[in-house]
Amino acid sequence: MRVMVIHGPNLNLLGTREPEWYGRRSLDEINAMIRAEAAALGLEVRVEQSNSEGAIIDLIHEASGWAQAIVINPAGYTHTSVAIYDALKAVELPAVEVHLSNVGAREEEFRHRSVTAPACVGVIAGFRAHSYLLALRAVKDLEQQGKAAE
């Protein structure tokens, strides 16, 4: 099973960006964890990061020709992007939304609403880098239930 993993804006700054919320691991370290977990689960992953909404939408479109599922942290676009919501709906691949922080526990009201989550099978938030690993397990579970794309 192939999985497209997409990191949204500002996640290239992980390691130094607000470590109290996002932890001290760099994106490269997190990507190494993702690749190791995927290998252990027998999943093939393509891992991408972009700071631009259009590029993220292009990656979602590319996933539809290649992957059977998507793991996505839309980051700030989570709370604003109808276009990413539309792209996830359009490709009809099961998607798992990921957040490093527990967005529901954050002070800013705007973080409590996800525009993109209704286009996903589920959301995993609050376990820092491990949120991505839990998302891969969720995707594996979807495959085992026969709910991933063919």
Residues in contact with ligand DQA by CB under 6 A are 10, 73, 75-76, 78, 99-101, 103, 111
CA separation, residue 78 to residues 17, 36, 82, 119, 145 (Å)? 18, 26, 9, 11, 27
Q: Which of 22, 77, 85, 132 is catalytic?
A: 22
Query: Do 87 and 61 touch, CB atoms closer than 8 A?
Result: yes
∠ Cα 41 104 92 (to 5°): 50
Whether 99 is catalytic is: yes
CA neighbor of 120 nearest in space, from 84, 95, 139, 87: 95
Contact 128, 102 (CB under 8 A): no
* Minimum CB distance to ligand DQA smaller for 12 or for 149: 12
CB of 65 to ligand DQA, least distance (A): 26
Comparing CB distances to ligand DQA, the nearer of 49 and 78 is: 78
User: At closest approach, how far in Å is the CB of 38 from ligand DQA?
Assistant: 19
Q: Of residues 7, 77, 99, 132, which has the active-site annotation?
A: 99
Based on the residue annotation, tell me whether 22 is a catalytic residue of this protein.
yes
Residues with active-site annotation: 22, 99
